[in-house]
Structure 1
Amino acid sequence: MRRLAADRAKRLIRSFLAAQSSLSVSSPSSFLSSPASAAMSTSSTPTVSLASINPKVLKCEYAVRGEIVTHAQRLQEDLKAKPGSHPFDEILYCNIGNPQSLGQQPITFFREVLALCEHPSILDRDETHGLFSADAIARAWEILDVIPGRATGAYSHSQGIKGLREAIAAAGIASRDGYPCNSDDIFLTDGASPAVHMMMQLLIRSEKDGILCPIPQYPLYSASIALHGGSLVPYYLDEETGWGLEISDLKKQLEDARSKGITVRALVVINPGNPTGQVLAEENQRQIIEFCKEESLVLLADEVYQENIYAGGKEFNSHKKIARSMGYGDKDISIVSFQSVSKGYYGECGKRGGYMEVTGFSADVREQIYKVASVNLCSNISGQILASLVMNPPKPGDESYDSFTAERDGILSSLARRAKALEDAFNSLEGVTCNKAEGAMYLFPRIRLPTKAIEAAKAVNSVPDAFYVRRLLETTGIVIVPGSGFGQVPGTWHIRCTILPQEDKMPAIVSRFKAFHESFMEEFRD
């Protein structure tokens, strides 16, 4: 009986396998009609494709980390795998304001305080006093005392740690401007970028909401406006007057946008300028504030380069300070000021610290801003601590003051020399003109490309300045960004280059750039 049952089972298995073979080979339609096979048939179709993702993401572009940088990273991998495979031995990233990646050293006092706050158990050790300055130890205790439970690894209040916001408000902003600052107006963020996104989320309701942005602009703004579904309303900076901001152009662009049914909600001002490097005159700032008040616009003041001033006679004034000096208070004008620890003389990009100061908004709107901040829980604690240190550095009489000022002034004076060296180099090139860098970390020279070069770019489906920049990268290893990634007057071509390569590398960079440019111009000469 057992043998018969086993034989019967074998026959059933053979019959089943034969049937499956018949279905899969001779009757594919029968196979596909079964529920199981139907599920299998769709497995090759992507769940997510470019056609099915959010179109706002497709519209978003961010040139400083775009196609040119991706290509540079591939070349870097080539050099690592096959040294000598390209006509250069290293990639020099001059595409983004990332000082420490190009050799700038962090500020000692800031890092000492951060180290002590991150590992507070060493504060009580005798050897700590031999390794760290007394004021760094004292500051670490002050900071830890305002952090609940002295827990730097815990979540904080969604606006940031109260005691750190108080230090930024009083010792930082109020001391800088000469006008009071309320710590409740401070929202600590992971750099300035999340703060910009928060304000775009708040202000943009649909594509019918517009934001006035300078052209050229830092592509964070165009990207953020695209992601949140709004409309960028451009106003053009005047290259002939050193990238000046003309109120007449602001009014023209505002009226044009309104005629198209766009409700303009805010005006972005970047001072000192990125990518243009200009520093606004106080009178120009007064005109901007009057314009925002008259037109009921929120003023979004990007002031992350406030420490980077190189031109003699120029100085930074916050827009809130100018508004207060004009007699305007919270009820008169809405201003959001952005600051970051990534720039200045400190260049702590990777620490992701920053803040926005929000003034002139009603209590119910402020609650909504806080709600958005709460969704993100809080910014990182190291960045919060560093933001408070940047706005409240050592003072005269502190043990670290002399070494701190020597480090700060050394970096800023070196940046000024590097800016001048690159400015002179660009202006010595055929068909290139470059305005003076008054502040920030960049130069934005104009390049008058030969017609043949423009035609060659079109032949490979490239924008002319991107074509130039790619050829520069492949010839020299220098990474810069085409001006088209920032916006420019139609028919003009530019490049943006940081002034951050260390001084000892500057002569080689200038030499390589000049040799490339001369060869390029000769190749495509009309």
Structure 2
Amino acid sequence: MLSRFMSGPHPAKRRLVAMSSHLGNGPQNGGPTGPAGQTRAKVLTIDSMNPLVKKVEYAVRGPIVARATELEKELEKGVPKPFKQVIKANIGDAHAMGQKPITFLRQVISLCVNPDLLDNESFPADARERARRILQGCKGGSLGSYSDSVGVEVIRKDIAAYIERRDGFPSDPDNIFLSTGASDAIKNMVKLLVRGEGRDQTGVMIPIPQYPLYSAVVAELNAVQVNYYLDEDNNWALDIAELERSVKEAREHCTPRVLCVINPGNPTGQVLSKENVQEIIKFAAREHLFLMADEVYQDNIYADGCAFHSFKKTLMELGPDYAGLELASFHSTSKGYMGECGFRGGYMEVINMDPQVKLQLKKLVSTKLCPPVSGQATMDCVVNPPQPGEPSYESFIKEKTAVLTSLAERAKLVAETFNSIEGVTCNTVQGAMYAFPRIHLPQRAVDKAKSLGQSPDGFYALQLLEQAGICVVPGSGFGQRDGTYHFRTTILPQPDKLKIFMDAFTAFHNKFLKEYAD
């Protein structure tokens, strides 16, 4: 019946053809060809598109990661490989690497998503109380409603209270901006700072090695990337003399307006001392720079003698001489002991921001309506966890401690194992979730990579993936001093998988050195 309908001169068929032509499938109505059968030129091509987007690179999800995904699919189809699984150590995604969610966080979010459970006594009373409080701050009592663009008010108050407990200084909820992870807040802050052309064009000072978000945002917004190098020989320390060199040279061709600091460091894993934080603040004040402090790993401190010192607290302690320094600091649900990357929760606190600029920032964030409200609720659980005496306190502390203790053990294991391998050196992983080992490549391997049009560490990382099933990110994606080669790996694989990772890496590396020995 259907074939008769489509082949005969039925009126319905004529209407269907006419409709198809009207919807643009015919050449005369915007299809693949234009008038007289000529091919219609595309409006958007690689040559006509925004050139700034083409400059954006984001190594942690680059071509090596795409190849890793292809290899996973090939393994599923039974294609023979010299390994049984692909270990993706390219990104700080704790749950993807086997970490279990923190029970209290998920209980509160479950209750917020499904308020019918609020009277279910199988949930602890403190989890139900937190959920009720969050929902009371949501329009219509629902997580599915839009929030204020800056975030749910009760959650901003909880964040301010958390900052006050952490630092011992007041925090104003009006200075808190909830965001879609820390990344979105960082991008908005750079947007406010970018202006000018030529020597007046905004320079953004970023650490090298850096988290590629920063170079990507700088490229997209047409600012000038101003590199300052961390000191690998001194456990990736931030040297003030290097900051001074960097800003002085940059002023020959742009106007540095912002200094970005990542503490604890990504990809380098260093933790800044209090004295170092003080020096950085004094430098920013002296050079009239807006200070952006990426502090998303503040819970991830592992090495003996290291501690997290917030830029906000240190600034306040320095007293009235630095009272006017402009600062934005960032936190996230994605890292720490939580690892709740997918909820995309984060916040920014701004200090000493011009009131008129703050109004412009509020206008800017309003164009995206609001951050995910589920992510905001997750952030509330992070800043307002169970307290002593509450039903969930003991289990929460047990889970949190277990995660951080295990990460500390893995941080030590990874660095020690890398340092035991010929041709690899790795600084102590003091904090965050990554190691950034240096690989000392034979000249023959360097020459081979260049003959293939690849960076030497990119060539190495691709061979590591193809031969051992280990996905890491080449150091060139983060920046490094000329003539040095690195890669970033997370320390997140669970202990059993981490042993497989290190054994496979050691075997590959020794084979690679032998193959390309000078």
**TM-superposed deviation, 1:331:** 5.3
Instruction: Specify which of 39, 42, 47 is matched with residue 43 of structure 1.
Output: 39
Structure 1 CA distance for aligned equivalents of residues 159 and 284 of structure 2: 26
Give the CA deviation at 1:40.
Answer: 5.3
* Partner residue in 2 for 1:158: 149
Matches within 5 A, 1:365-404: 365-404=357-396
Q: Which amino acid aligns with 2:177?
A: F
| 1:140 equivalent in structure 2 | 131
In the alignment, structure 1 residue 276 sits paired with structure 2 residue 271: no
Of the three residues 88, 95, 98, the one matched with 2:83 is: 88
Please give the alpha-carbon distance, in whole angstroms, between the structure 2 residues aligned to 1:112 and 1:443.
33
Q: 2:33, 2:40 within 8 Å by CA — same for their partners in 1?
A: no
- For 1:206 and 1:456, the matched residues in 2 are separated by 43
- State the match for 1:26 in structure 2: none
Q: Normalization by structure 1: what TM-score?
A: 0.90
Which residue number corresponds to residue 244 of structure 1? 237
SS in structure 1 at match of 2:169: coil
| Aligned pairs for 1:37-186 within 5 A | 39=35, 41-43=37-39, 45-81=41-77, 83-124=78-119, 129-170=120-161, 172-186=162-176
Structure 2 unaligned segments of length 5 or more: list them.
Answer: 1-27
Q: Verify: 1:433 aligned to 2:425, yes or no.
A: yes
Aligned to 2:20: none
- Assess if the C-alpha contact under 8 Å between 2:89 and 2:492 holds in 1: yes
1:158 maps to a residue whose letter is S
Cα distance between partner residues in 1 of 2:85 and 2:390: 42
Q: TM (normalized to structure 2)? A: 0.92
Larger Rg: 1
Where does residue 256 of structure 1 map in the other structure? 249
- Counting only pairs closer than 5 Å after superposition, residues 125-524 of structure 1 correspond to structure 2 as 129-170=120-161, 172-206=162-196, 208-260=201-253, 262-328=254-320, 332-524=324-516
1:85: Cα distance to partner?
A: 2.1
**Alpha-carbon distance change, 94 to 206 in structure 1, aligned in 2, over 3 angstroms:** farther
Note the C-alpha offset of 1:113. Answer: 0.5
Q: String of CA shifts for 1:309-356, please: whole Å, max 9, x gaps.
A: 001121111101000001149951000001010000000000000000
Tell me if structure 1 keeps the 8 A contact 2:315–2:322: no
- State the AA in 1 paired with 2:87: L
Aligned length: 485
3-state SS in 1 of match to 2:350: strand
Return the alpha-carbon distance in structure 2 between the equivalents of residues 524 and 113 of structure 1: 55
Distance 2:128 2:279 in 1: 45
Deviation sequence 1:10-65 (CA, Å, 0-9, x none)? xxxxxxxxxxxxxxxxxxxxxx9xxx985355535333221111111111100000
Give identity over the alignment, percent.
48
* Contact 1:191/1:354 (8 A) holds in 2: yes
Amino acid at match of 2:241: S
* Residues 216, 487 of structure 1: 8 Å contact kept: yes
Check the 8 A contact 1:330/1:359 in 2, yes or no: no
Deviation at 1:121, TM superposition (A): 1.9
Note the aligned Cα RMSD (angstroms).
1.5
C-alpha separation in 2, matches of 1:122 and 1:506: 39
Secondary structure at the residue paired with 1:509? helix
**Which 10-residue stretch deviates more, 72-81 or 372-381?**
72-81
SS in 2 for 1:259: coil
Q: Is the 8 A contact 2:176 2:350 kept in 1?
A: yes
- Superposed displacement of residue 440, structure 1: 0.0
